[in-house]
Amino acid sequence: MTIDQFLLMKNEILLIAIAVIVLIIDLMTDNKKILFPVMIILFIFTTVIGFIYQTDGELFGGMYRSTPLINMMKNILNTGVLIILLQSAGWLINKAENHENIGGFCFILISSLAGMCFMISSGDFLMFYLGLELATIPIAALVAYEKMKFLSAEAGTKFILSAVLSSGILLYGISILYGTNGSILFKDLNNSVEITNLQALAFIFILSGIAFKISLVPFHLWTADVYEGAPVNITSFLSSISKAASVFILLILLFTVFINFSEIWNELLVYLSILTMTIGNLFAIRQQNLKRFLAFSSIAQAGFIPLGFIGGTSLGASTVLYFLLIYVFSNLGAFGVVSVVTSATGKESMNDYNGFYKTNRGLSIVMMLSLFSLAGIPPVAGFFSKFFLFTIAAKQGYYFLLFIAVINATISLYYYLLVVKAMFINENEQPIEKITSDVYAKLGLAICVLGIVFTGLFGIIFDYINTLSKGI
């Protein structure tokens, strides 16, 4: 064990260091506003280091591993959390009742991110479970953060109960897997896992435990209530970062440990995908609350992800990564606008956005780009990611799934355009007044717009991810 090997964990170590520094500053000063810029600078530093310094290797006898692909996944998560921190500045700093909680909020958010990083780079089911819990328990605290609001407290309770249930199912699966193979190291399981009834049961338990976190139908029932009750920034965290982290670990598990089970999970994921897309879309059409609408749209978006898993190819893995990269940008863009509007006026309903373009040109254009990207309209990045996913399914010959996916993409176009129509075409006597957002929110939205516009135009980004995913 040397210093070099500790550097493999640089991302996690830096994140934990930032979290502790935030706590120390929170203890020392009474003016909590100082804390925020310091933390943002430290966090930008961590994110940049993640892109520059690549690591490859394993630690603790294979319990922790790091590859260039895992690094890329962590970079996506870091960037997403950076955007969320920037967007939550308005909510934290402008509201006097939140001043006391700035330190706590940032600490909990960053420790949840550290848990996700540990989870992704685990080489062992024990490490995976610890990381998962470190990621989940802080989120429950964040969901119930506005503790005086009834909805927020209710959402927190619902979240922790469903998280406990899913962890229980997951642990049951892991214990069966340990009982049948005598090891929980991914390396050992790689060779010894085979299709027997008991191990298939274990696999299905583990898959459903993770599907809870990704909120694939039929494991989605907690999603809408929790997303509606939580503060907007936490909703965006849940629907993009938490979801992306769970998809990443599912990708790693399916492609390494359970690669022998591919005939089982190919079939399962086809059904999960069809159900998730269709039900997410059908519910999203009816929503009037914009937060709830984005929650169901994120369920529908999660339904497209399994298309990339089909066949278990490395091209599929890079397509999933690419889809999530763009999904994080576009989802956070849409949530960012909602967050700015909510913290300024408290309005969440879709009718409030009528005539939004007349008063807030910049914000409505960002919203339009994000929704176009989520819907998959050609010039923006969302089109390319969805198109690549469709080609993966087509290459494996799953034409029925492809047919359903294309129909669902068309349905989703309808409700995304409904919001765009409300902003640009509908008339309103009293539109939302001109909002001047703060520097942080502007920076966050600018990163989102850059991501949405340029990730699709430059093929080099996809090629880069594709070279990484060879060594999954």
Partner 1 sequence: MIDSYIPIFIIFVFAVGFGIVMVKFSSLFGPSRPNKEKLSTYESGIDPVGTAHERFSIKFYMVAVLFILFDIEVVFLYPWAAAFLNFEPVKMVYSFISVIVFIIILLVGYLYVIKKGALKWD
What residues make contact with partner 1 under the rule CB under 8 A?
1, 16, 20, 23-24, 26-27, 197
> Taking the complex as a whole, how short is the minimal distance between the CB of residue 24 and partner 1, in angstroms?
6
Instruction: Report the C-alpha gap between 65 and 9 in whole angstroms.
Output: 9
Q: In the beta sheet, which residues pair with residue 64?
A: 59, 122
Hey, what amino acid is at 20? Answer: V
Cβ atoms of residues 310 and 316 within 8 Å: yes
> Taking the complex as a whole, how short is the minimal distance between the CB of residue 114 and partner 1, in angstroms?
12
> Distance from CA of residue 293 to its chain's centroid?
17
> Taking the complex as a whole, how short is the minimal distance between the CB of residue 20 and partner 1, in angstroms?
6
Hey, what amino acid is at 92? Answer: L
Q: Which is nearer to partner 1, 1 or 41 (CB)?
A: 1
H or E segment to which residue 58 belongs? strand 57-59
> Taking the complex as a whole, how short is the minimal distance between the CB of residue 32 and partner 1, in angstroms?
12
H or E segment to which residue 258 belongs? none
Q: Which is nearer to partner 1, 114 or 247 (CB)?
A: 114
> Taking the complex as a whole, how short is the minimal distance between the CB of residue 1 and partner 1, in angstroms?
6
Hey, what amino acid is at 36? Answer: F
Hey, what amino acid is at 206? Answer: I
Q: Which is nearer to partner 1, 197 or 436 (CB)?
A: 197
Q: 3-class DSSP state for residue 65?
A: strand
Q: Which is nearer to partner 1, 25 or 305 (CB)?
A: 25
| Sign of the alpha-carbon torsion through 181, 312, 244, 219 | negative
Q: Which is nearer to partner 1, 23 or 418 (CB)?
A: 23
Q: Which is nearer to partner 1, 114 or 294 (CB)?
A: 114
Instruction: Report the C-alpha gap between 261 and 392 in whole angstroms.
Output: 19
> Taking the complex as a whole, how short is the minimal distance between the CB of residue 179 and partner 1, in angstroms?
13
- Transcribe 331-374 into DSSP letters: HHHHHHHHHHHHHHH---BGGGGTTHHHH-HHHHHHHHHHHHHH
